[in-house]
Structure 1
Amino acid sequence: MTPFVLVHGAWGGGWYWRNVSRSLRQAGHTVFAPTLTGLGERSHLGHADIDLDTHVQDIVQLLHYEDLQDVVLVGHSYAGLVITGVADVAANRLARLVYLDADLPEHGESRFDLQPEARAWWEERAQEGDGWRVNLDLPEEVMIEIIPDPVVRRWYLERSQGQGQPIGTLRQPVQASNPMGQAIPRTFLGCAQDVLGMRAGLCGRMAQRAQAKPEVRYEELEANHFAPVSAPDVVASALLGQID
């Protein structure tokens, strides 16, 4: 029985792993899908001082208090930064890192270093969100192709719309200098289906970076960037394939 810890990306919550978690549990594994501070059901705890360290500590504390060992730690999108930071301080609890179409940073890089072309947009939107948070506002017509099932699409939008991603999480560089953390086996699961031009931007660049690293196992999924919601069976199958 392998413990999986699934970490959501920006504007998300543990909720969006619902169907992935169900499949992993049905296969006999322990699954935790925590929600990071200031998001999802913890959005009422949001404040201007939330940064990447806050989210790293969310996961480090979970590993400690649940006494988890040999964990497959999965990060989607922004959470690639989070799991990289967790590996730096809790390497002894981890068996593998899995980057699901995620940020794949080097030591000292922030999301803004990985995606400098988007920084001005984020900073401007943060000024509209109490000066520190960026709200998600994807119209349903944009999401029709991304999540074709209308019931699932509505479920996703009801929970993601209005979420405020603390901008401090994107400004702060990740710490990843611990040799033990760097030695943890890594997998990058790239989502091949292009939506919203993501393959030409950050997602495509991160996939290329992963493929250029011999120490990273690269696999491609027939899914789009929203795979935890739009293709949960594909994601669950790929995660089960990471058990060594």
Structure 2
Amino acid sequence: MANFVLVAGAWLGSWAWGEVVPLLRAADHGVHPLTLSGIAERQAVPTGRQTHVEDIVDLVERLDLRDVVLVGHSYSGIPAGQAAARIGGRLARVVFVDSDVPADGESFISTWWEGPAKLEAAIAGNGGWWAPLTAADCAGQGLSDEQVARIVGGATPHPGASLADPAVLARPLDELPATYVKCLLDGAEPSDDVARLLTGEQWRLAEMDTGHWPMFSQPDRLARILLDAAR
């Protein structure tokens, strides 16, 4: 039996995995969706250096989880990758779902594809928070109107401090057993840093013909990929 730890991306809490959780539990695995500090029902929890990494490590250690399949979606690939390097023998595999991956000393902001200054300005203009995504942000991602409404309606501001937090890698990422899930409607090819990691023996690629939020658009297919990762 594996223990899945599911961490959604920016703005989203554990609720985002609502359609995936029962599919994994039906296969007799432990499933532990996690809401990171400062988001959703945990908005009031302060967020600083390494807080989101500690959120994940603390859950694994507090519940004494073994055979952990740690799943990080989008932004959460950054803290999940760091946490995976810290939990040692408890880790079975880390799965990055259409996500960023951590680079030692770099933050989400410092590697932002439109340039750090633009994202820094947006966060500063919103009182230190990254404003939730809009319906327009979800366009072209294989989502129904109802699914878009669920995502946008449940999204909360994301703490800017976590986005500026430089990654600290306890172990090189290419040494971790990992699966990268590429959602093709969000770009046909993995980023250059992910492509380099995929050349290693420990990394696998899985592709999904959907957009950036597959836990909403294709939960059945995503669950099958996660179950394969646990084998």
TM norm structure 2: 0.89
Partner of 1:134: 130
CA offset digits 1:163-202 (Å, max 9, x no partner): 22112212222111336x76331111111123xxxx289x
Instruction: Report 1:41-60 matches (<5 A).
Output: 41-45=41-45, 47=46, 50-51=47-48, 53-60=50-57
Structure 1: how far apart are the matches of 2:115 and 2:73? Answer: 18
Provide the residue aligned with 2:21 in structure 1: 21
**Residues 52 and 82, structure 1, Cα contact 8 Å, conserved in 2:** no
Which of 194, 207, 218 is 1:231 aligned to? 218
Query: Which amino acid in structure 1 is aligned with residue 177 of structure 2?
Result: P
Q: Deviation of residue 117 (structure 1)? A: 2.9
SS in structure 1 at match of 2:185: coil
Q: Aligned pair in 2 of structure 1 residues 141, 87: CA closer, same or farther (>3 Å)?
A: closer
Moved over 6 A (4+): none
Structure 2 residue corresponding to 1:175, chosen from 155, 168, 171: 168
The alignment partner of 2:43 has SS state of: helix
**Percent identity of equivalent pairs:** 32
Q: Which of 146, 149, 157 is residue 152 of structure 2 equivalent to? A: 157
- Secondary structure at the residue paired with 2:169? coil
Distance 2:178 2:164 in 1: 24
Which stretch has the larger CA shift, 167-176 or 1-10?
A: 167-176
Structure 1 residue 147: Cα displacement: 5.1
Q: Contact 1:101 / 1:207 at 8 angstroms: preserved in 2?
A: no
Which structure features the higher share of helix residues? 1
213-222 or 228-237, which deviates more: 213-222
The alignment partner of 2:212 has SS state of: coil
| Distance of aligned partners of 1:56 and 1:65 in 2 relative to their CA distance in 1, 3 Å threshold | same
Q: Following superposition of structure 1 onto structure 2, how do residues 2-41 of structure 1 map, counting pairs within 5 Å?
A: 2-41=2-41
SS of the residue corresponding to residue 27 of structure 1 reads coil
Aligned match of 1:189? 181
How many angstroms apart in 1 are the aligned matches of 2:222 and 2:87?
25
1:98 corresponds to which letter in structure 2? V
Deviations for 1:37-66, whole angstroms, at most 9, x for unmatched residues?
010111132x4xx23510011111111111
Instruction: Measure the CA separation in 1 of the matches of 2:200 and 2:171.
Output: 18
**Equivalent-residue separation in structure 2 for 1:142 and 1:164 (angstroms):** 15
- Residue number in structure 1 paired with 2:230: 243
Provide the alpha-carbon RMSD of the alignment.
2.3
Q: Secondary structure at the match of 2:20?
A: helix
- Tell me if structure 1 keeps the 8 A contact 2:141–2:211: yes
Give the aligned partner of residue 74 of structure 2: 77
Q: Deviations over 1:212-236 (max 9, x none)?
A: 4443111211221111112111110
Segments of structure 2 that go 5 or more residues without pairing to the other structure are none
Contact 2:132 2:152 in 1 (8 A): no
Residue 115 of structure 1 deviates from its aligned partner by 2.3
In 2, are the aligned partners of 1:88 and 1:175 still within 8 Å (CA)? no
CA distance in 2 between counterparts of 1:36 and 1:148 reads: 24
Contact 1:87 1:182 in 2 (8 A): no
Secondary structure in 1 aligned to 2:69?
strand
Identify which range, 23-32 or 117-126, moves more after superposition: 117-126
4-13 vs 206-215, greater mean Cα deviation: 206-215
The one-letter code matched in structure 1 to 2:34 is P
Structure 1 unaligned residues grouped into runs of 5+: none
